């Protein structure tokens, strides 16, 4: 078991940083506390397994709006076992309340930005859906045209078959007449066919 004493500087007060630290520690079994200092810095004292403390240091050394850690001074020590759990040491109730209000305003602003981004993405999606519907409409028109061409072609083939049948019937009748005439002429000439 090890102990770390960490002094964090930057934009770390009135931005929800202590809650961020608590979130990073949640479920790890790390004990200790976090508190704001009058200097504008935040102090963290934490005890636990060395690998978990290393992970904690990485998790709190961040630049993620509204938090901006500019320095993180870590001192390693042997654990004393003096902390039963991890706590946030709060200051004056009025200061804490204003900090919460400031943080809530920040969260509301971020939520609004995310909502705007989501709305913009929805508009883009709707535009793309409109484009797809237009393309589907064009495809349906082309399919209708192809069906019409297919019907016209079928009708032309049907008419061609009827015309051909009629023509061939006329030709065969004419050939039959001529054969009958030839047969009659041969019979009159005394030739049996």
Residues serving a catalytic function are: 18, 36
Give DSSP secondary structure letters for 27-84: TTT-EEEEEE-TTS-EEEEEEE-HHHHHHHHHHHS-EETTEEEEEEEEEEEE-----S
Measured distance CA(76)–CA(108) in Å, rounded: 38
Measured distance CA(12)–CA(17) in Å, rounded: 5
Element (H, E) at 104: helix 93-188
Measured distance CA(76)–CA(193) in Å, rounded: 129
């Amino acid at each position: 078991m090890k102990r770390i004493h960490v002094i964090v500087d930057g934009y770390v007060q009135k931005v929800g940083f202590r809650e961020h630290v608590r979130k990073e520690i949640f479920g790890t079994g790390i004990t200790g506390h976090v508190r704001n200092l009058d200097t504008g810095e935040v102090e963290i004292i934490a005890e636990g397994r060395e690998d978990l403390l290393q992970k904690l240091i990485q998790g709190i050394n961040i630049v993620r709006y509204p938090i901006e850690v500019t320095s993180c001074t870590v001192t390693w020590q042997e654990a004393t076992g003096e902390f039963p759990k991890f706590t946030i040491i709060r200051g004056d109730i009025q200061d804490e309340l204003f900090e919460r209000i400031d943080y809530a305003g920040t969260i509301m602003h971020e939520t609004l930005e995310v909502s705007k981004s989501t709305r913009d993405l929805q508009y883009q999606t709707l535009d793309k859906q409109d484009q797809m519907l237009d393309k589907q409409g064009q495809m349906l028109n082309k399919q209708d045209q192809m069906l019409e061409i297919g019907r016209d072609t079928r009708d032309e083939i049907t008419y061609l078959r009827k015309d051909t049948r009629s023509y061939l019937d006329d030709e065969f009748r004419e050939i039959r007449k001529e054969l009958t005439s030839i047969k009659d002429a041969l019979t009159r000439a005394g030739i049996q066919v």
